[in-house]
Amino acid sequence: MENFERRFLLHVPSSTENLSLIRDFVANIGKQAGLAETELSMVELAVDEACANVIEHAYGLDQTKEVIVRARLDGDAITIEVVDTGKGWDPGSIEQKELKRLVEERRSGGLGMRMMKLVMDEVEYKIKPGEHNELRMTKKLKKD
């Protein structure tokens, strides 16, 4: 890929119906970045997880709200930011319990965050409940 920065922006109403649209947006950018099929699937999945969390938890399925997905491509990495103004969350409250333990407790919460951390190289967040929540994920591009 040519070594100059490219930026992309998507605003969508906060509805799970739009997750497919978000995945398509990310897939197209990933293709421009030259990501291999497997890596591309993983980036799509991570962004889906982040946006599903915003739609369901930060905004509580309120379709009048908006999810913002920003992407930045340079020669080294693809960086995706998911931005919302919802109620936010306490990163410390997400326990990384063993999967077996979650099943025993009949809970499936926190799987999305676990997934993002496992498939992306970096995951960072800034939380200001009701004002500006931002989750930034980076996937480094493999050099030939």
Partner 1 sequence: MANSFSVTASEQDGIAVLTLEGFLDAHTAPQFEEAIQKEINAGRKQIVIHCEKLTYISSAGLGVFMSFIEEIRDAGGDIKISGVIPKVLQVFEILGFQSLFDIVGNVPEAVARFQQG
CA distances from 129 to 21, 83, 85, 89 (A): 26, 12, 7, 7
| Beta bridge partner(s), residue 69 | 10, 82
Of these, 34, 114, 125, 138, which contacts partner 1 (CB under 8 A)? 114
Rounded CA separation 124/81 (Å): 9
- Is 23 a binding residue for partner 1 by CB under 8 A? The answer is yes
Neighbour count for residue 37 (Cβ, 10 Å): 9
Of these, 7, 76, 95, 103, which contacts partner 1 (CB under 8 A)? 103
- Is 17 a binding residue for partner 1 by CB under 8 A? The answer is yes
Where in 61-80 is the site for partner 1 (CB under 8 A)? none
- Interface residues toward partner 1, by CB under 8 A: 16-17, 19-21, 23-24, 38, 41, 45, 48-49, 52, 55-56, 99-100, 102-104, 106-108, 111-112, 114-115, 118-119
